[in-house]
Amino acid sequence: MTLPFSHHLPVNKLAASFNNTSATYKFYWFLSILQWVEMGNKSILKNEIFARMISNAWYTVNYFKVSFGKQDLIQQATNQLLSIENITIDEKINILVDKLIKSENKETKKILWHFDKQVPHWFLSPWFSGYNKKEIYIASNTYTNNCLYSIYEDKIEINPNWFEYLQNNAKILKDFCYWNLTLFLQQKNPNVPDIPNKLIKPAQRNSLTTQRHKFWNVVMNELGSIDCIYTGNKLTSDKYAVEHFIPFSFVSHDLIWNLIPADNSFNSTKSNKLPRLEDYFDSFYKLQYQAIEIIKYKDPKSKFLEEYLTIFPSLDSKEVTKQKFKNHIQPLITIASNNGFEYMNK
């Protein structure tokens, strides 16, 4: 993916800012600058950018638990601020930014300002090859080499020559940033599914109404009732929740092979906890197998049957075996646990 061309600007320098990245700082720094520029800001306080850096990473780190690498301080800072500021993992980004900017907590301020040591000046290194920090600060103040912004102790000021370019191409530039961030994080998380959709908090989660009415209600009506695999309580078609066996915050999808009916009260307490396979897999598999056989008979053209083909070569009863299902589920549970997801209590 390339950046929009300009006859008057050294766009190649901007692209070069993302070369040889060993952490996520540059991605979140530039992304945060773009967001302030989109709102018409030409002079931006550093603490406002730092707050947005953390806020942009918040959901990815705290909800999806994507690893940024052991040495990445954005991930560390995000984890620390979750506890220090007592902010929920799914807080809206604008509220989160505002809370961090206005925080009077000394530890919060220290964490945010740590990023001032490296990011603002080294992002401009393609414009100032061989310069040290002090030299970059001084040279940027006169927009030497048509650099992107000037740096001061408490703020940056966007180069007027770049401002219109950034505003007009904000979407493409953000896409470029997210694309490169995705490539970086995929290297750090080779077995974690769907990294691109874990970079931005969705406006709202998809409803599971269709899965309920066109799949599990059909199964429920055929069987009369279903025993919740977690609580043992009997579930009927008018009283149950559709829940993700492996948490949505890890798999990031609503495929039917990971969805099962569960007791309403239990579903709300399970949250994003992992089920222990030794306790629940046999019941999970039995219910899924019954559901496949019923839907094959009741609605053989159901689109939900196709979703099982992502893990089975066919829906022949000889193919949908307990071991094959477990071979698919178990590695996902293990990876999720390694990434910080906790197991349910019995």
Tens of pLDDT, residue by residue over 121-169, are 999 999 999 999 999 999 999 999 999 999 999 999 999 999 999 999 9
CB-based contacts of 17: which residues, under 8 Å, 6+ apart? 26, 30, 123, 124, 125, 126
| Contact by Cβ (8 Å): 163, 143 | no
Which helix (H) or strand (E) segment holds residue 242: the answer is strand 241-244
The better pLDDT of the pair 9, 267 is held by 9
Q: What does pLDDT average to over the chain? A: 92
The better pLDDT of the pair 215, 249 is held by 215
Q: For the segment 221-276, what is each residue's pLDDT rounded down to a tens digit?
A: 999 889 999 999 999 888 899 999 999 888 888 999 999 999 988 877 888 899 99
State yes or no: pLDDT of 202 exceeds 80. Answer: no
Predicted pLDDT of residue 219: 94
Predicted pLDDT of residue 338: 83
Residue 203 banded pLDDT, cuts 50, 70, 90? low
Question: What is the mean pLDDT of the segment spanning 28-42?
Answer: 95
* Residue 73 structure tokens: 């301080």
